[in-house]
Every structure is written in C-alpha cells, then in structure tokens.
Amino acid sequence: MSAKAATKAKSARFELRISPEEKRAIEEKAAERKLTVSEFVIRAALGRAARQRSDVDAIYQLTLCVDQLKAIHRQLQAGEAEPGALSLSTLDGTMQAVCAAIQRVWTNGAES
C-alpha cells in the first residue's frame, strides 16, 4: 500500500439515526448517481459534487423514458389503451417534454 493510500484509509465510522423512508431515499439517490451510499453522503456533507457525470444522469433518465415507452407499447399491443387516448399530438408533446427534461439534466450536470 502506498503512503498516499495509507493516509487516505477509511477507518473512522459515523453513525446516524434516520427513518426508513429517509434511508430508502438516500439509497435511491446514491444509486441514481452510481455512487455508494457512503460516497454519496460524504460528497453531500462536504459540499462536493454528488453527480458522477452529467452524461450518466442523462443516460439514466433515458432509461426511465424507455421503460415508460415499453409500458405504453405493451398497453397498445394488449388493447388496454382507451381509444383515442394516445394521439400523435399527445405523444409528440410528451416526447418534447422528455427531451427538455433530459436537456435540463445534461445542463445542470455540467454545472455540478
């Protein structure tokens, strides 16, 4: 082990009491950023950027969008969607909103 690694060895512990809901929310936020809970909490507490990279965030958001599109596709194929519920203008508006949201994530990630 190098001298630098030895001085940065993590041996101290910090114990917090939080609600199960808070714990779940923290775990979800850490997972969204592809960080361990420890790393996420350390970064947040020390004012460091909690985002790994803006493109990772954008890809995560795209994944969520794809999941929703798959669900819509399944509903349409199964005939579960109400007639007229999904017009082209509705889908176009939704896709524009999704693109705008991804652009915001991308822009905000560049600032982190």
pLDDT at res. 7:
54
Q: How far apart are CA 6 and CA 14, in angstroms?
A: 20
> What is the per-residue pLDDT across 9-56, written as a single tens digit (0 to 9) for each?
888 988 999 999 999 999 998 888 878 999 999 998 998 877 666 667
Task: Find tokens 């936020």 and name the residue.
Answer: 29
Q: Give the distance between the most distant pair of CA atoms in the chain.
A: 68
> What is the per-residue pLDDT across 45-104, written as a single tens digit (0 to 9) for each?
998 877 666 667 677 777 788 778 777 777 776 776 666 666 556 666 777 777 777 777
Residue 69 exposed, middle or buried by CB count within 10 Å (0-12, 13-18, 19+): middle
Q: How far apart are CA 44 and CA 51, in angstroms?
A: 10
SS (H, E, C) 65-93: HHHHHHHHHHHHHHCCCCCCCCCHHHHHH
